[in-house]
Amino acid sequence: DGGITQSPKYLFRKEGQNVTLSCEQNLNHDAMYWYRQDPGQGLRLIYYSQIVNDFQKGDIAEGYSVSREKKESFPLTVTSAQKNPTAFYLCASSAMWAEETQYFGPGTRLLVL
Amino acid sequence: GIQVEQSPPDLILQEGANSTLRCNFSDSVNNLQWFHQNPWGQLINLFYIPSGTKQNGRLSATTVATERYSLLYISSSQTTDSGVYFCAVERDSGAGSYQLTFGKGTKLSVIP
């Protein structure tokens, strides 16, 4: 089946710890995105990547980092600099030159201990 | 930046009823999408609709880009329609990258 997978489903972070969220897609999409969702809110863009080895900051990039070493993978690291990391994190992808529908993964819930 | 406002914020329907959700946006956009987020958090794209009207089963959507709004119609609602409906607009940030700006959503509860 083609789609987007995210892992883990739940993640717990301790004070001062960096954690990495995984996002993998087998849709052969060029573009990938990371969003953050807080309770009762819409999604906000953290980072996006149009092609391998390239990525751009979104609206709320502070305290996060990403890499895009492979077309299929776009991991997100939540660093200790992110002071309020508790949220639901969603990864998405889209084909660059086709209709720009974004397809979403099932999400990762990050909780701070 | 662009503003996206959705109304109503909350909606409770009896099963079988019809409803209309509205999305207003503050500036010209390249495109507009409607999503449904189920109670487990999964987002599903419903419509990709820059203008005009599209229908998919009991759902239909209309976007009037010149007046900067879009409507999502749900007919004969079912309990499985419950969840949050998001409108998201695409702005062209240049270099072929399309970024979505989301509204805060309409939370729909369909009761038996």
The stretch B71-96 carries a mean pLDDT of 88
Q: Could you give the residue ranges of the DSSP H alpha helices within chain A?
A: none
The stretch B98-102 carries a mean pLDDT of 84
Give the type of residue at B61. A
Q: What is the pLDDT of residue B93?
A: 60
Report chain B's mean pLDDT, rounded to a whole number: 92
Q: What is the pLDDT of residue A55?
A: 94
Tell me the nearest-neighbour CA distance from A16 into chain B, angstroms. Answer: 27
- pLDDT per residue as tens digits for the range B28-60: 888 899 999 999 999 999 999 989 999 999 999
Q: What is the pLDDT of residue B29?
A: 84
Cβ contacts (< 8 Å) between A58 and chain B: which residues?
99
Report CB contact under 8 Å: A100, B104: no
Q: What is the pLDDT of residue A41?
A: 86
Enumerate residue ranges in chain A where pLDDT < 70: 1-2, 97-100
* B interface test, pick of A29, A32, A36, A43 with most B CB neighbours within 10 Å: A43
Cβ contacts (< 8 Å) between A100 and chain B: which residues?
30-31, 48, 90, 98
The rounded distance, in Å, linking the Cα atoms of A81 and A63 is 5
Q: What is the pLDDT of residue B31?
A: 87
Position B96 confidence tier, pLDDT thresholds 50, 70, 90: low
Q: What is the pLDDT of residue A20?
A: 96
The rounded distance, in Å, linking the Cα atoms of A10 and A63 is 19
CA distances from B108 to A39, B75, B88 (A): 15, 13, 17
The rounded distance, in Å, linking the Cα atoms of A26 and A29 is 8
